[in-house]
Structure 1
Amino acid sequence: MLSFFSGLGLGLSLIIAIGAQNAYLLRQGIRREHVLTVVVICTVSDAVLILAGVAGLGYLIERVPWLVVAAQWLGAAFLLVYGVLAGVRALRGSAEGLTPDAPDARPSGNGRLPAVALTTLALTWLNPHVYLDTVLMLGSIAATHGSARWVFAAGAITASILWFTALGYGARRLSGRLSTPRAWQILDGVIAVIMIGLAATLVVQALQV
């Protein structure tokens, strides 16, 4: 059980930090748009990465560093585009489905499922930090637990399930209070800053390799 709670604690410490994936899930939760889909994709992706790290994929990442560099450039490009689009929405002062004339309206929640799913996958798998943190670091720490490393992995996966579910559906419950145009303007502004900031960080890291 000690290995399980160690994995749970480390998993939460790695996943709670505000990043592109969490910001997108927060937005989708507030929009009440395909929340379950985003939660499932984030959770299953994390589980796959955790299991890959425990199984030894981190060794490959250490030996083939260009894989991380490629992910950094691809991730930076995607985050920059998404951040600019969020910034445009913030400057316009209205979110999709909301207008200043209808301050109490809620987003329709009819966004295209394939687009939401692909965006979630891109924000997850094009983020090089998931390979460095989830695969490499978490996998290395799991190895120190010996035969209990899979119990450690179960704890880390449980952390992902708890966090993504709480974030997505917690945001969904708050959607009524945060559905005003001003709230959406602030949210999209914050998301734009996070995405563009992360993109700049990835570019700097790629140039330093």
Structure 2
Amino acid sequence: MTVSTSVFVQGWLSMAGLIVAIGAQNAFVLRQGLLRAHVGPVVALCALSDAVLVFAGVLGLGGLLREAPALMAPLRWAGALYLLWFGWNAARRAWRGDSALAAGGASQSRAGVLLTTAALTWLNPHVWLDTVLLIGALGAQQAQPAVFAAGASTASVMWFTALGFGAAALAPKLAQPRTWRCVDALVALAMGAVAWQLLAV
């Protein structure tokens, strides 16, 4: 195995170990996949955002944020408030057991879905901590940082593709009111847990 291949694999494994945890971003991608609504654009935006953040971290942004943690404070509060709002709406849907969940979600505009995706990514400090700070710090120590970042970005593309399109493939078998209530309950719990962690810092 060449040095470049080894570094690429290290980047892939590092990102893969972090990204599979259920969080706000993953829960939203899962829900959009089950709704079969704008899955491609959502997957592409999540993967592209991760790539931008990973490369930014490897190229030095992670070091800047570690030296000036106060820069993350506004992002932390904005992200927590947005997550609480989104989680509250998901909890209401789960409580009501709205049988029109799928139709309502599918009718949401692409712009609206992408705006929510962007907010759950760029206003979520956990995404920044995982990609810019942690992956960025690991990548900066490598002999070939850009190759490490490419490996990490590839893991992100593969994960979001599998999550979004995998959920879409299973949607016909899961299109039941109880399933939607469980999905929205999961979304609400994920959003609330991340928001609590942010506010408790």
- Shorter-normalised TM range: over 0.9
Conserved 8 A contact 1:32-1:107: no
Partner of 1:66: 70
Partner of 2:164: 168
Partner of 2:108: 111
* Superposed displacement of residue 137, structure 1: 1.3
1:199 is aligned to 2:195: yes
Partner of 1:132: 129
Distance in structure 1 (CA, Å) of the matches to 2:45 and 2:90:
22
Query: Structure 1 regions of 5+ residues with no counterpart?
Result: 99-105
Task: Give the secondary-structure state (helix, strand or coil) at the position aligned to 2:106.
Answer: coil
Distance in structure 2 (CA, Å) of the matches to 1:163 and 1:97:
25
Identify the range of structure 1 (26-35 vs 136-145) with the bigger mean alpha-carbon deviation: 136-145
Partner of 2:120: 123
Partner of 1:157: 153
Task: Give the secondary-structure state (helix, strand or coil) at the position aligned to 2:172.
Answer: coil
Conserved 8 A contact 2:101-2:180: no
Distance in structure 2 (CA, Å) of the matches to 1:107 and 1:176:
16
**1:199–1:16 Cα change, 3 Å:** same
Conserved 8 A contact 2:121-2:127: yes
Letter in 2 for 1:197: A
Distance in structure 2 (CA, Å) of the matches to 1:49 and 1:186:
31
Identify the range of structure 1 (135-144 vs 43-52) with the bigger mean alpha-carbon deviation: 135-144
**1:97–1:144 Cα change, 3 Å:** closer
Conserved 8 A contact 1:95-1:185: no
Distance in structure 2 (CA, Å) of the matches to 1:96 and 1:127:
29
1:143 is aligned to 2:147: no
Q: TM-score, normalised by structure 1?
A: 0.90
1:177-188 equivalence runs, <5 A: 177-188=173-184
Percent identical residues:
47
Partner of 2:49: 45
Aligned-residue Cα RMSD (Å) equals 1.4
* Superposed displacement of residue 97, structure 1: 4.6
* Superposed displacement of residue 110, structure 1: 2.9
Conserved 8 A contact 1:94-1:182: no
Task: Give the secondary-structure state (helix, strand or coil) at the position aligned to 1:115.
Answer: helix
Task: Give the secondary-structure state (helix, strand or coil) at the position aligned to 1:174.
Answer: helix
Task: Give the secondary-structure state (helix, strand or coil) at the position aligned to 2:174.
Answer: coil
* Superposed displacement of residue 63, structure 1: 2.1
1:86 is aligned to 2:90: yes
Q: TM-score, normalised by structure 2?
A: 0.94
> Which string of whole-angstrom CA distances, capped at 9 and with x for unpartnered residues, describes residues 61-102 of structure 1?
01221121211111110000000000000111125455xxxx
Distance in structure 1 (CA, Å) of the matches to 2:101 and 2:180:
11
Task: Give the secondary-structure state (helix, strand or coil) at the position aligned to 1:33.
Answer: coil
Partner of 1:2: 6
Distance in structure 2 (CA, Å) of the matches to 1:42 and 1:172:
16
Task: Give the secondary-structure state (helix, strand or coil) at the position aligned to 1:56.
Answer: helix
